[in-house]
Chains A and B, each alone.
Chain A
Amino acid sequence: MASSVAFGVVAGALVLSALAVILSRNLVHAALAMAAHFSLTAALYVLLHAPLLAAVQLLVYAGAIMVLFLFAVMIVGERDVGRRESLAGQRVLAVLGLAVLGAVLVFAVVGGVPAAGPSADAPPVPAEFGSPAAVAGALFRRHVFPFEVVSVLLLVAMIGAVVLARSRPAEGAPAEPPPGEEGG
């Protein structure tokens, strides 16, 4: 009973914060809404017996990623580009497509989730489910290879970000950035 209320509250807040993100005219407001969204997701994970993930979510999403966004906003400025839709039919068609997709997804989910059943209650879980030990056990045993690959991926992303943020954006600029900094 209590968890359903909790779930309901968290779910509603998640939706509201997501809407806040996409509807804000001010980037900082959007960032704040997003931070809230991620935090609420962490709360949801707790409800779903995923404590480690909740912690990691807070650390990575609500922490690192939000910081990144805020730095970018610092550089770019918080104002929106424009309210007028420049492309003909974009809004109408987007709404239409989204409606169809949303309906499809919901119907698929409601109608066809097998085995567990959409209305089935959650099965019991062992106490250690979702704990760091359990996750680590799976991660470093069965999924060690993708784990290593992801680390390489992160390295590549780092280098890429550094390179991109450094080089001067001239037409047909050479790979070698010119010496000397101009303010940026």
Chain B
Amino acid sequence: MIPSTWLQLLPLVPALPLLGVAVLVLGGRRLPDRVAATVAVGVVGLAFLVAVAVGAAYLGPGAPERAEAGVPEGPTRPPVVQRLWQWMAVGDDLVTVSAALRPVAAGQAVPAGAVGEMWASPWDPRVAPRLRDMWSAAAVPGQRAGDAGLAPYAIVGIGDVAPDPGPFVAARPKLQHRFQVDVALQLDGLSLVMILLVTGVGFLILAYSAGYMRGDPGLRRFFLYMDLFVFSMLVLVLAADFLVLFVGWELVGLCSYLLIGFWHQDVANASAGRKAFVVNRVGDFAFLLGLLLVWTVFGSLAFADVLPNAGRLLPLGGALATAITLLLLLGATGKSAQLPLYVWLPDAMAGPTPVSALIHAATMVTAGVYLIARAAPLFERAPLVMLAIAGVGAATALAAALIALVQVDIKRVLAYSTISQLGFMFLAVGAGAYIAGIAHLVVHAFFKALLFLAAGSVMHALAHGYAHAGVSPPAQDDVPAQQDVRRMGGLLRRLPLTAWTFVIGGLALAGLFPLAGFFSKDEILYETLGRGQGLLDPWVALWAVGMVTAFLTALYAGRLLLLVCGGGPRGEGAGRAVEPSAVMTAPLVALAALTVAGGLLIVPLAGREAPLAALLAPVLGQHHAVGDPSKAAVAVAATAASLLGLGLAWLAYGRGALDPARIARAAPWAYRLAWRKFYVDELYALVFVRPFRAAAPFLWRVVDDRVIDGAVNATGRAVLAAGTGARRLQTGYVRSYALFMLLGAAVIAAYLLLSAR
């Protein structure tokens, strides 16, 4: 029996990485590298174990304890919210009631036309006592049951059937809360999946980085930032309130900045970190505006107050719903590197590879998708925005795949691949297929982390190889030698373990059956097609884009695999590469296993529901299919696309039957567009960066120096001038002083005389 008191351990999950941070901070330079690494990796591992325990307690049997803890059995499993402490509380509770009260007989429908509105405190004597008796806790939007001092009320809405006993009065219910934010943790299927993912994959990546970062002078700082990141991400996904989520959101942005610019001695790295932070900030600003709008509608930012009442308070397709969701979407595109705020992710590859794996593949970038899934009830009220989400996702996926096809830096290929796959996730949630989107998020985390870590091992091996050969070749096209795929090759034979895991990851990316990537991608495409009917429906177009992207994904994945692993070594480093240590290969094996087995999480087997779906359905269950395509047909089409892509890659890069160089020469403009990433960075530089750079000196010299400093200096000068003026009274002559005494006395005498009258 798993005691459901283990549910109480939930705060331990984010607390453990925070503890790691504290130890690393306080230990300082005195901590030897091994200890620092062990502590940092260990706390995340422990957090994972605690997460498993908590999950088991949440899901498992153990009926008496469950009943005690109030967790019911069955498919509808409400979230467990643990309130930690109250962060802030502002203002008072007020309630709106109808001014004119008309009695309605029991059993009659409540008519429209409640006259007027007034604000009153629930204890205001103007609120009719009978009305007060009739407001019930469950129906009041946002009201917390059992709040001390707020007596139970019954609300009857317009159009509802009047209950017994009548007669009663009609009222337009609207409770304005005092604004209260509690720091609370919420455990449900979605957050459980996320914390398991973050701590599990995080642990593997951290273990890997213990080997990867060995010998780096900043090792302690690295692990400090990584643990801080894990903590922040856990706060983000465990938050029960939008504001707490936002805190985690910002913190992961901070950690991303710190980790991208980790080797900050090189200015380019620091600039990349700054770019990431600034672009994220744009999205964060939109996010915040969205939250403000949410507050104006709901009076609160807690999930329990907002999400169940979204249907009630947000008219479908209305301006408010559209505005809120659009702003939240913008925030999500910043964090998840979609159009138009994706430009920071390729530059973020300047950071250490484990950072790319954890933050920019598996976790932080998924925060946007998580947000949309979590706030699904809000998004459901704005169908136009959902279409936009899907559109953005599809467009991003396509564009990124095209760019990835021509990159020669192994990390860049993976970066654009990540952007593309995130696009798929956005497509999914935009189509309302939340479960499919989260499923893809999970499996993508597995194989993308795998790919990044394996790439890191490859880069490591190549660097050692160059060192052994005694050469240090220069970077070509700004790509360092050990990252250049043109100088790789033949690694399947030289680094078998690493290379085979890399291959597994790549094939999963391509969506090959029966690896995990196939199932989730297939599900997404199925759901997308299912939303549409007829050939001209936008959903069908999106499905088509998805298909093309799937083909391109397989193509660039195959290209990558063949260039890296196949053939013979094309460079000195590749020629002398050797398998790295177990510390670095073991996590790869684990991730590869997860990649292979991941499909099991998604596919319903033997009559039972798929585990992931079972977990997520109580939270996310939605089904929007209008048309009814055949599942098998979609699967076949998807597989065909992957095979086509892989085959083409084989022909071009494996066999040499097609020469990619010739194709590039045939359509140089197409090639250049992709090579230059569609000139988006240049566009942003022109539109945003240049005006800022031009405005800054103006603001500095005119506003800061002349206006602000001028005002301050002028004040000082005025005081000096006043002093100089006043000093002239000090003549030194006795007769002047006598005169001043007279003048003063005259004034006082006059005043006394006048006031006495």
**Contact status B746-A101, CB under 8 Å:** yes
**Contact status A90-B750, CB under 8 Å:** no
Chain B 731-754 interface residues, beta-carbon cutoff 8 Å to A: 731, 733, 735-736, 739, 742-743, 745-747, 749-750, 753
The residues of B that contact A105 with a CB separation of less than 8 Å are 749
**Contact status A100-B736, CB under 8 Å:** no
Question: How many residues of chain A get a CB closer than 8 Å to chain B's CBs?
Answer: 16
The residues of B that contact A111 with a CB separation of less than 8 Å are 757
CA separation between A101 and B733, bound complex, in Å?
22
**Contact status B745-A87, CB under 8 Å:** no
Q: Which single member of A87, A97, A107, A112 contacts B742 (CB below 8 Å)?
A: A97
Is B756 an interface position by the 8 A CB rule? yes
Task: State whether A101 and B749 are in contact (beta carbons under 8 Å apart), knowing that A93-B743, A94-B742, A112-B756 are contacts in the complex.
Answer: yes
Q: Which single member of A93, A104, A112 contacts B750 (CB below 8 Å)?
A: A104
The residues of B that contact A48 with a CB separation of less than 8 Å are none
Task: State whether A100 and B735 are in contact (beta carbons under 8 Å apart), knowing that A107-B753, A112-B756 are contacts in the complex.
Answer: no
**Contact status B746-A97, CB under 8 Å:** yes
Is A56 an interface position by the 8 A CB rule? no
**Contact status A104-B733, CB under 8 Å:** no
Is A68 an interface position by the 8 A CB rule? no
Task: State whether A100 and B750 are in contact (beta carbons under 8 Å apart), knowing that A87-B733, A90-B736, A90-B739 are contacts in the complex.
Answer: yes
Q: Which single member of B731, B742, B753 contacts A98 (CB below 8 Å)?
A: B742
Is A164 an interface position by the 8 A CB rule? no
**Contact status A104-B735, CB under 8 Å:** no
When C-beta atoms are compared, the residue in chain A nearest to B736 turns out to be A87
**Contact status A101-B753, CB under 8 Å:** no
**Contact status A90-B745, CB under 8 Å:** no
For the residues of A in contact with B, the DSSP-based class is helix
Task: State whether A101 and B736 are in contact (beta carbons under 8 Å apart), knowing that A87-B731, A112-B756 are contacts in the complex.
Answer: no
- Would you give the shortest CB distance from A75 to chain B, in whole angstroms? 21
CA separation between A78 and B349, bound complex, in Å?
103
The residues of A that contact B753 with a CB separation of less than 8 Å are 104, 107-108
CA separation between A90 and B729, bound complex, in Å?
12
- Would you give the shortest CB distance from B513 to chain A, in whole angstroms? 106
**Contact status A90-B735, CB under 8 Å:** yes
Chain B 503-550 interface residues, beta-carbon cutoff 8 Å to A: none
- Would you give the shortest CB distance from A138 to chain B, in whole angstroms? 31
- Would you give the shortest CB distance from B733 to chain A, in whole angstroms? 6
CA separation between A96 and B739, bound complex, in Å?
10
**Contact status A87-B735, CB under 8 Å:** yes
Q: Which single member of B735, B745, B757 contacts A101 (CB below 8 Å)?
A: B745
When C-beta atoms are compared, the residue in chain A nearest to B751 turns out to be A104
- Would you give the shortest CB distance from A81 to chain B, in whole angstroms? 12
Q: Which single member of B731, B743, B749 contacts A104 (CB below 8 Å)?
A: B749
The residues of B that contact A90 with a CB separation of less than 8 Å are 735-736, 739
The residues of B that contact A93 with a CB separation of less than 8 Å are 739, 743
CA separation between A12 and B440, bound complex, in Å?
117
The residues of B that contact A96 with a CB separation of less than 8 Å are 743
CA separation between A36 and B739, bound complex, in Å?
28
The residues of A that contact B749 with a CB separation of less than 8 Å are 100-101, 104-105, 108
CA separation between A127 and B750, bound complex, in Å?
40
When C-beta atoms are compared, the residue in chain B nearest to A94 turns out to be B739
The residues of B that contact A112 with a CB separation of less than 8 Å are 756
The residues of A that contact B742 with a CB separation of less than 8 Å are 94, 97-98, 101
Chain A 16-34 interface residues, beta-carbon cutoff 8 Å to B: none
**Contact status A97-B739, CB under 8 Å:** yes
When C-beta atoms are compared, the residue in chain B nearest to A101 turns out to be B746
Chain A 70-129 interface residues, beta-carbon cutoff 8 Å to B: 86-87, 90, 93-94, 96-98, 100-101, 104-105, 107-108, 111-112
When C-beta atoms are compared, the residue in chain A nearest to B741 turns out to be A97
CA separation between A96 and B731, bound complex, in Å?
20
The residues of B that contact A98 with a CB separation of less than 8 Å are 742
The residues of B that contact A108 with a CB separation of less than 8 Å are 749, 753
The residues of A that contact B735 with a CB separation of less than 8 Å are 87, 90
CA separation between A100 and B751, bound complex, in Å?
11
Interface string of B409-452 (1 = CB under 8 A from A): 00000000000000000000000000000000000000000000
A sample of 13 inter-chain contacts (CB < 8 A) reads A87-B733, A87-B735, A87-B736, A93-B739, A93-B743, A96-B743, A100-B750, A104-B749, A104-B750, A105-B749, A108-B749, A111-B757, A112-B756
Taking beta carbons and an 8 Å cutoff, which residues of A are in contact with B?
Answer: 86-87, 90, 93-94, 96-98, 100-101, 104-105, 107-108, 111-112
Top 8 nearest A-B pairs by Cβ distance?
A: A100-B746, A97-B742, A101-B746, A104-B749, A97-B743, A97-B746, A104-B753, A104-B750
